[in-house]
Structure 1
Amino acid sequence: MCALEPGWLPQLERREEWVRTARFPPRGPILVVAPHPDDESLGCGGLIAAAVRRGERVHTVFVTDGGASHRNSASWTRTRLAARREAEAIEALKRLGAEQSPRSFLGLPDADMPSPNSSAYRIAKAHMVSILRYLSPAFAIIPWRRDPHCDHRDSWSLVMDSLSAADHSCEVLEYAIWLDELGLPEDRPRPIEMEILRFDISDVVDAKKHAVRAHRSQLGQLILDDPSAFVLSDRTIERLTGPEEVYWRPCVRE
């Protein structure tokens, strides 16, 4: 694994040895992986905003097209919605100050990611490997491996598979979106498995909130003909837009 920048190493925050406060943001090229458009803002918007303000290279990869959130809408086909969600993601990155930063949309089907033995998976993996080789990230910010959503778990697997194929080692930090609301006890990280890093994002939290609001299709403000559609709740948004962001780093034991 890549060594952390001196001075960024986390300082002990509590008695629990596995909970630490880290200086923010990390230094060096950063790969951010979002399973859907909006996860980049909800999970890592503060990190993205702070990193680009400091001049770090940040490349954001959106794994799925987000087109399954309104399956029963007559006015918004899946293709139309996927295009809308890509536009919202671009606007969100602009609000985070990352409009000039590279981004990639793999375009895999929302809620139906391909199996590892499929041609679609191999194409997505090749794209991810090419990004890793050109960016050579010091940090990969990826979904929590047991986040209770199939696309989040599959995105984690895709990134780890791609890191291996690219023969690239870097610090991996994982973030959860749905764990606190939908997770089972066995989904949570264990002290012997992960170290918790807490980042103070108070300087950029307003930009993060502004970026979340760019995802209007997920806020119940745009598509009104599907009462069964997914909508981000106020509770979820409030939970994920506080003054801290939390990441997990795999423990390295001698």
Structure 2
Amino acid sequence: MRADAFFAALDQLPVASLDAIVGTGGLVVVAPHPDDESLGCGGLIALASAANRPVRLVVLSDGCSSHTHSLLYPPERLRALREVETLTAVAELGLPSDTVRFLRLPDARVPSKGPQAEAAAESIVEAAHTCAAGAVCVTWGHDPHCDHQAAAAIVALARPRLVGARIFAYPVWGHTLPAEADVGTAPSGVRLDVTGAIAAKRQAVARHASQTTALIADDPEGFRLEPAMIDRLCGCYEPFIEMSA
């Protein structure tokens, strides 16, 4: 299926309730980078937290590749900054800091197989067990970023041990694919109405100031989220593509 048709189909997925997605259990969100959780699942996290569902966040990479030329923020300092930003972001969504785990895999080089990937998969399984997860959400395997694809592969490694949990993919960068790109079969899944959580989601995204502002001013080639990208991801619905076994 072409990417343009796929995303048109996403906009037609049925609207489902939080209970229909998570069931009676908790939720695990897997983010390749610090900020993907807010961009792709911020509304879901906020609604689950407000409903007193247990939520766990597993952040795979250290986020150190966003500003590789900064002297003011060398890797160790940038990693620390991005972790603090994540904790303040998810606090806006109702998550306490002890529900977040940072695996600190290398940004732009998150492995999709091998010992590190297996260890990351085990961390996801542990998170799922601690919250009796009814759903695990991870970035879409066709997102045009190697770490997003690796995150999907890691959850696939974990899947045999995620008994009772449905697996959903959330796209972040997928809409930037060429219209004619082949992304496989038509999507199945649901959309979640996050209208009541948009303000909290936007606040969470804004907490990732290193990615949304000129906070790191000494790297002109550094990454920065465009306002249009944020607007696109902060609409009234979040799509969740159900991944078949």
Residue 94 of structure 1 aligns with an amino acid whose one-letter code is A
Counterpart of 1:53, as a letter, is A
C-alpha offsets along residues 21-71 of structure 1, whole Å, 9 cap, x if unaligned? 112353421111111111010000000000110110110110111110001
Which has the bigger relative contact order, CA under 8 A and spacing at least 6? Answer: 2
Any idea what the Cα deviations from partners look like across 1:77-128, whole Å, max 9, x if unmatched?
A: 01111111000000001011112661111110100113522x4333323323
**Partners in 2 of 1:35 and 1:144 — Cα distance?**
11
Which position in structure 1 is the counterpart of 2:67? 70
Report the equivalent of 2:89. 92
Identity across matched positions, percent: 34
For the residue of structure 2 that corresponds to 1:90, the secondary structure is helix
How many residues end up aligned between the 2 structures? 234
Preserved contact between residue 148 and residue 187 of structure 1 (Cα < 8 Å): no
User: Unaligned regions of 5+ residues in structure 2, if any?
Assistant: 1-7
Could you tell me how far apart the structure 2 residues matched to 1:122 and 1:152 are? Answer: 16
Picking from 118, 121, 139, the partner of 1:122 is 118
- The verdict on how the C-alpha distance between 1:250 and 1:162 changes in structure 2, with shifts beyond 3 A counting, is closer
CA contact (8 A) 2:128 2:162 kept: no
Shift in alpha-carbon separation, 1:146–1:217, aligned structure 2, 3 A = same
State the TM-score, normalized to the length of structure 2: 0.88
Range moving further from structure 2, 145-154 or 135-144: 135-144
Q: 1:167 to 1:224 in 2, by over 3 A?
A: closer
What corresponds to 2:171 in structure 1?
176
Q: Give 1:216's match in structure 2, choosing from 209, 215, 220.
A: 209
Residue 187 of structure 1 deviates from its aligned partner by 4.8
CA distance in 2, matches of 1:183, 1:33: 26
| Separation in structure 2 between the aligned mates of residue 179 and residue 173 of structure 1, nearest angstrom | 15
Amino acid of the structure 2 residue aligned with 1:176 = P
Q: Considering only aligned residues, what root-mean-square deviation do their CA atoms show, in Å?
A: 2.3
